[in-house]
């Protein structure tokens, strides 16, 4: 009897110990991820949000599988969602490993390169309320991190991904008015030691808000910044000059989002890197999405160069140079771009693969009328992706811009919008293909928006007619952008105001609101209120 008691006591202690051992295998296979949201604009759930989570799994860890179970998002700083778990549903899972070098997720061994993408989504969510200054923070966390060289005790830290919704002009978030930036390019980067890393996450904003990029610290348990290994930090997450003066400093272009780094030839391993893309509207920070990714450097026995990408050959407008250009709405944009790889593998030319992306490309890269954010769409000719070849692959970019490509003018007198077009060239070298990604940024500028005038005074005639006086404005744009002064009237200072007439001469600063006005004659039983606004800009359609 005492022996049975001892065995039971032993088993009890063993069970307790098993519960006390951290389940590090639960997420040590997750090597990156990000969160974004979409504003539903139509249908029965219009005005609500759908939140998305992407996770990237290292399939060489075979003892864990990502499923819908226990996958939830949380929202900080929103009183109605305090302590609330928002369930996530698995939408898709896709192997994203390079087909030439990696193996399918289900067949991966401990030393294989194999990555799978998991996409989760919530049901439509009604938020409501105005975010505080530090925003509504949408977050995902779970234990534990993958072991990396730049974070201390990474396997004892949570993975912690966030996206933040900031206030905008006091607007309530129901109905919604903004979709966050989202990353179109996959986050996994594998390269050989001594090679160049040329990567772009290809962030797109469905609302065409302005974007900026920055490197930030990785977050760990409870959302606290992780502790970096000596020589590393959030803005220097890869081996750099603080480790060895001869090492390259990783850089992230704040405008284009291009990440550049030359890896040391003698260093291999895995490092965590976090990039944030900020969305700006009318000069205000409106949203932030963050992406964590791993950079893995492998030893490779045979030298290999990444494909070389030429600077665009600008055909129209002919004055273009480099990878960025500013054009007037209505201009035709045409350029040629080429990628070249002359390396040999086993005595044979390497196969070069060409792909492209950007939310302003038309369907199949050939349809100028459909498939993009705002038609006319950009197209590619001579070579359309995806395509493969040896030596050099060239393509010709064509885009007829219009005033429809200048967004948000009414909201803040914005007169330009920037569109990013990503071109990716990849060779078939193994175990880590050479990849070169470039971003061609086209900024479309609309006509100048002429500011509204300052009212002076009004006078009332004996017959009830009212004359309005204002300080005339100046339009120095060539050709002139000014169309007219639009006159609005109301019997209440809070409106609603109706447009009752216009003045097309920029040098005329008076308007007579007569009693015979067909829209709304002046009232004689109370006060009259007026607004004078200029009409100008693209399509002569912007009221300032």
**Residues forming beta bridges with residue 431, ordered by sequence position:** none
Decide if 273 contacts 238 (C-beta within 8 A).
Answer: yes
Nearest of 242, 295, 297 to residue 265 by alpha carbon: 297
Residue 353 has pLDDT above 90, yes or no: yes
Cα 194 to chain centroid distance, Å, stands at: 30
pLDDT value at residue 29? 80
pLDDT category at 276 given cuts 50, 70, 90 is very high
pLDDT digits (tens, 9 = 90+) for 284-334: 999 999 999 999 999 988 889 999 999 999 999 877 788 999 998 899 999
pLDDT at residue number 455: 85
Evaluate if residue 36 carries a pLDDT over 90: yes
The pLDDT, as a whole number, for residue 190 is 85
pLDDT, mean of residues 228-252: 98
Task: State how far the Cα of 341 lies from the Cα of 323, in Å rounded to an integer.
Answer: 20
- Of 395, 456, 454, which Cα lies nearest the Cα of 423? 395
Beta-carbon contacts of 424 under 8 Å, excluding residues fewer than 6 positions away, are 185, 354, 355, 356, 357, 435, 436, 437
Instruction: Report the percentage of the chain scoring pLDDT > 70.
Output: 92
CATH no. for 455-543: 2.60.40
Architecture of the domain made up of 301-446: Sandwich (2.60)
Confidence check: pLDDT of 20 > 60? no
Beta-bridge partners for 51:
37
Q: For residue 263, give the nearest of 190, 353, 341 by alpha carbon.
A: 190
CA atoms within 13 A on the CB side of 81: 20
Q: What pLDDT, on a 0 to 100 scale, did the predictor assign at position 408?
A: 53
Q: Cα–Cα distance between 222 and 455 in angstroms, integer?
A: 55
pLDDT(5) > 50: no
Neighbours of 87 (CB within 10 A): 12
pLDDT tens per residue across span 98-134: 767 878 887 777 777 788 999 999 999 999 999 999 9
Rounded Cα distance, 249 and 257, in Å: 16
Bridge partners of 258, per DSSP, are 200
Mean pLDDT is lowest, of 22-26, 145-149, 233-237, for: 22-26
> Residue 10 pLDDT > 50, yes or no?
no
Buried b (16+ CB within 10 A) or exposed e, 41-57: eeeeeebbbbbbbbbbb
Q: How far apart are CA 161 and CA 289, in angstroms?
A: 9
Query: Which pLDDT score, from 0 to 100, does residue 62 have?
Result: 61
Mean pLDDT of 435-449: 90
Mean pLDDT on 491-499: 93
Asked if 368 and 375 touch (Cβ cutoff 8 Å), the reply is yes
Query: From the CA atom positions of the chain, what is the Rg in Å?
Result: 29
Tell whether omega for the bond before 376 is within 30 degrees of 0, i.e. cis.
yes
Cα dihedral: 483, 489, 493, 497 (round 10): -70
Measured from the Cβ of residue 467, the count of other Cβ atoms closer than 10 Å reads: 14
Comparing 62 with 441, which gets the higher pLDDT? 441
Q: What is the pLDDT of residue 354?
A: 97
pLDDT of residue 63: 57
Q: What is the mean pLDDT of residues 58-75?
A: 79
pLDDT on residue 544: 66
| 455 vs 465, higher pLDDT | 465
pLDDT digits (tens, 9 = 90+) for 357-412: 999 999 999 999 999 988 999 999 999 999 999 999 999 999 999 988 987 545 56
With tokens 């705002």, the residue in question is 374
CA–CA separation, 60 vs 319, rounded Å? 50
Contact 534, 452 (CB under 8 A): yes
Q: Are the C-beta atoms of 424 and 436 separated by less than 8 Å?
A: yes
Question: What average pLDDT does range 11-15 have in this prediction?
Answer: 32
Intervals of CATH 2.60.40.10 along the chain: 301-446
Cα dihedral: 324, 327, 332, 336 (round 10): -10
Assessment of whether the complete model's pTM goes beyond 0.75: yes
Of 50-54, 200-204, 316-320, minimum mean pLDDT range: 316-320
The answer, yes or no, to whether residue 22 has pLDDT greater than 80, is: no
* Distance in Å from the first CA to the final CA of the chain: 91
Query: Per-residue pLDDT for 281 more than 70?
Result: yes
Is the Cβ–Cβ distance between 510 and 501 less than 8 Å? no
């Amino acid at each position: 009897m005492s022996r049975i008691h001892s065995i039971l006591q032993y088993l009890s202690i063993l069970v307790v110990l098993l519960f006390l051992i951290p389940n590090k295998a639960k997420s040590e296979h997750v090597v990156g991820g990000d969160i974004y949201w979409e504003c539903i604009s139509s249908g029965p759930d219009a005005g609500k949000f759908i939140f998305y989570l992407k996770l990237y799994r290292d399939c060489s860890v075979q003892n864990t599988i990502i499923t819908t179970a226990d996958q939830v998002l949380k929202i900080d700083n929103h009183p109605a969602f305090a302590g609330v778990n928002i369930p996530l549903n698995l939408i898709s899972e896709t192997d994203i490993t390079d087909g030439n070098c990696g193996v399918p997720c289900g067949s991966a061994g401990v030393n294989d390169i194999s990555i799978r993408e998991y996409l989760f989504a919530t049901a439509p969510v009604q938020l409501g309320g105005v975010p505080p200054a530090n925003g509504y923070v949408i977050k995902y966390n779970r234990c534990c991190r993958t072991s990396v060289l730049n974070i201390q005790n990474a396997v004892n830290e949570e993975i912690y991904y966030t996206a933040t919704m900031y206030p905008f002009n006091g607007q309530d978030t129901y109905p919604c008015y903004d979709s966050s930036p989202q990353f179109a390019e996959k986050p996994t980067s594998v390269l050989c030691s001594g090679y160049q890393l040329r990567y772009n996450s290809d962030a797109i904003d469905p609302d065409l808000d302005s974007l900026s990029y920055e490197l930030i610290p990785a977050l760990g348990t409870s959302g606290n910044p992780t502790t970096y290994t000596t020589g590393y930090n959030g803005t220097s997450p890869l081996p750099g000059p603080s480790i060895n003066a001869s090492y390259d400093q990783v850089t992230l272009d704040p405008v284009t989002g291009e990440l550049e780094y030359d890896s040391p030839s003698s260093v291999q391993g895995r490092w965590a890197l976090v990039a944030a893309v900020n969305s700006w509207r009318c000069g205000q920070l409106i949203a932030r999405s963050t992406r964590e990714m791993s950079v893995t450097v492998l030893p490779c026995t045979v030298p290999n160069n990444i494909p070389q990408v030429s600077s665009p050959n600008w055909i129209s407008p002919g004055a273009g140079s480099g990878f960025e250009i500013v054009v007037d709405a209505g201009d035709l944009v045409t350029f040629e771009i080429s990628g070249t790889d002359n390396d040999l593998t086993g005595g044979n030319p390497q196969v070069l693969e060409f792909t492209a992306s950007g939310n302003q490309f038309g369907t199949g890269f050939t349809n100028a009328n459909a498939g993009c954010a705002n038609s006319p769409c950009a197209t590619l000719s001579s070579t359309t992706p995806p395509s493969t070849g040896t030596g050099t692959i060239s393509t010709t970019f064509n885009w007829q811009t219009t005033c429809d490509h200048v967004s948000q003018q009414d909201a803040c007198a914005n007169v330009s919008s920037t569109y990013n077009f990503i071109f990716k060239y990849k060779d078939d070298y193994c175990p880590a293909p050479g990849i070169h990604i470039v971003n061609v940024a086209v900024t479309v500028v609309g006509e100048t928006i002429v500011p509204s005038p300052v009212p002076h005074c009004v006078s009332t005639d004996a017959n009830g007619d009212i004359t309005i006086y204002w300080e005339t404005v100046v339009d120095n744009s060539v050709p002139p952008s000014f169309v007219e002064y639009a006159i609005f009237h109301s019997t209440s200072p809070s409106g609603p105001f109706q447009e009752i007439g216009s003045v097309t001469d920029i040098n005329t600063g008076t308007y007579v609101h007569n009693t015979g006005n067909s829209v709304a004659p002046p009232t004689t039983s109370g006060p009259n209120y007026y607004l004078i606004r200029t009409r100008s800009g693209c399509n002569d359609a912007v009221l300032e």
